[in-house]
Structures are given as C-alpha cells and as structure tokens.
Amino acid sequence: MLIKNPPSWQIPEREATPEHVFLNRRHFLGAMAGGATSLIGGSAFAAKKKTPDPTADLYPAKRNEAFELDRPLTKESDASSYNNFYEFGSHKRIAMEARKLKIRPWTVSFEGMVEQERQVDIDTLIRAMPLQERLYRMRCVEAWSMVVPWSGFPLKELVKLANPQMSAKYIQMQTFNDPEMGPGLKQFWYPWPYTEGLTMAEAMNDLSFMVTGVYGKPAAAQFGAPLRLAVPWKYGFKGVKSIVRISFVNKRPKTFWENIQASEYGFWANVNPEVDHPRWSQASERTLLGDRVPTQMFNGYGEQVADLYK
C-alpha cells in the first residue's frame, strides 16, 4: 500500500494543476490501476540490468566558483525524490518509474535553421564540452524551491556547435516521445512532446546551462538524463528534460505548458514575486528544507539577465 505523507512545502496536486488536466489525469490513473503490479515488476527488472554511465569518469566536474550561493544545498535525497517528469506520470514521486528511461544509445538532433542538420551521439557531445559544476537556485512555479549542484556546460557552447543561421530567432528543445519508454506519453490530452524554447539572446546568456550531471555524478533519470536545460531565472518548467531535438526557428515556439494553459504558464516565465499565479501568490516560496523565504526578482539573477528584457 502506498502511504502518502506530503511534506509541509508541497502544494496539493489539485491546486498546482489546471482543473481539466487534473480531472483527465484522475481518469487515466483509474484506467491504469489494473496494470500497476506489472509496471512495478518492470521497474525492478530494469533496475537490475542497469549498466554504468559511459561518461561517469568525467565527474565530479570542477566547480565554477562564480556560481557559489548563500543558501545551503538541498539534500540529494530530497531533490531526487520530488520531481516533475510527466512522461512517467503526473505525480512527484517519479524516481522509480523514471528508471524505464533508456539513456543509451541516445542522439540529439540539430534541426531547422542550421547550416547543416545533423545528429550527434550524446557521449561525443558531452566529451566535446567543457564540463563544470554550478550551484543554481531552482524555483518551481508551484512556489517551492531548491538549490542544486548541476554539472554540464553553457548552452552557448552547444549553439556554437550546432552552427545556426544568423537569422534564427529562437531555440526550441524537445523531449523524447516514445510511450513504450515513458507511459505518461499515453495520456493523449497532453500536447506531447514536451517542448520548451528561449530567444537566441536568452540562449546565449552565460547562465543558460545544459545539464548532464547532478550531485557530482551523471544525472539520475528523474532529473532528465542524459541532457536537460537549466535556466535559473525562469520557473522550473522551462527546464526541459531528456532532450532529443534542438531546432532553430524564427517563430516563437508554442511550449508544452503554454499549450495547456497560457494564462498560467506563459512562454517567458521569468521568476517575479510581484506577479502572482492566478491561483496562488508568488511573493514567497518554500525551500525543500521547509523554510519559507521571500522570492527574488529573476530568482536573484537580475544582474546577469535583467538587460535581456529592457
């Protein structure tokens, strides 16, 4: 039996999710209930077969001291057991289910307005990049936050490698869309694949970071292995996980959450304590340690990014 004991900082699922999505999801969970035993059996089997990550030797990456923070790090056990990854289900205790994610072989394609479209093997990509560790605050739109030691490389390095045309205005990133691997993808009412985007100026900002590792080792599946975005001045839903496709386009991409509810989860999604979510205040946040702290404009990264929005 599953015993649910939600921590103090957790918003009830009904409040955090647009109502029509919540109701559809309940329906789906009901239909899936009969298959639960075999799903759990499958996860355990996948766990047994787990092979070491081929890039494990690159970690821990050297910490970039420019990104030291005043706040304590979130405990790894907390950050890795409270995740959003709808491809595996629409609850937060997703780590076990996410073990179905098969991260090798994995390729990332560069498409759209690039000099040449191509596919890159993830290990070749990671080994070609200057890996470093950065401590970033992460503020979810649901008003909880954490501090995570991400490892990875600046997004601008990946942009250089992709070689987009000068006229490209936006970068769009998408997650895998294979329902055999991510059973949540069978929930037809979501606008799969998970899609996010940035302007090219945002993508070239030094804070935009491609994550390949967390807590000094290759990223665990639930964090969005093997490649995920971190843009710490924006709400957490911009941090698209398990990326397979990167496109350069001249029209603003329609993002996953914007498709679901544009008035609540818009394209820009810059952290702003003065603009409340229609259903709750954004003035403060609960850290995963349980403290309530005031939310900062741009999540405290205004010095680095405020100029982008003048």
Which residues of this chain interact with ligand MTE, rule CB under 6 A? 83-87, 140, 175, 194, 223-224, 236-237, 239-242
Task: Decide if 224 contacts 240 (C-beta within 8 A).
Answer: yes
Question: Which residue number, 100 or 113, has a Cβ lying nearer to ligand MTE?
Answer: 100
3-state secondary structure at position 84: coil
> Strands of 195-199's sheet, edge to edge?
118-121, 107-112, 243-249, 170-175, 195-199
Question: Which residue number, 91 or 169, has a Cβ lying nearer to ligand MTE?
Answer: 91
Question: Which residue number, 223 or 301, has a Cβ lying nearer to ligand MTE?
Answer: 223
- Please give the torsion angle defined by the CA atoms of residues 235, 120, 132 and 241, in that order, rounded to the nearest 10 degrees: 20
- Compute the least distance from the CB of residue 261 to ligand MTE, in Å: 12
- Residue count of the chain: 310
- Compute the least distance from the CB of residue 132 to ligand MTE, in Å: 19
- Compute the least distance from the CB of residue 84 to ligand MTE, in Å: 4
Question: How far is residue 131's CA from residue 184's CA, in Å, rounded to a whole number?
Answer: 31
Question: Which residue number, 74 or 113, has a Cβ lying nearer to ligand MTE?
Answer: 74
- Compute the least distance from the CB of residue 115 to ligand MTE, in Å: 28
Using alpha carbons, list the distances in angstroms from residue 145 to 27, 78, 126, 288: 30, 11, 28, 6
- Compute the least distance from the CB of residue 144 to ligand MTE, in Å: 9
Q: Residue ranges of the alpha helices (H) in 84-237? A: 122-128, 155-162, 200-203
Question: Which residue number, 79 or 126, has a Cβ lying nearer to ligand MTE?
Answer: 79
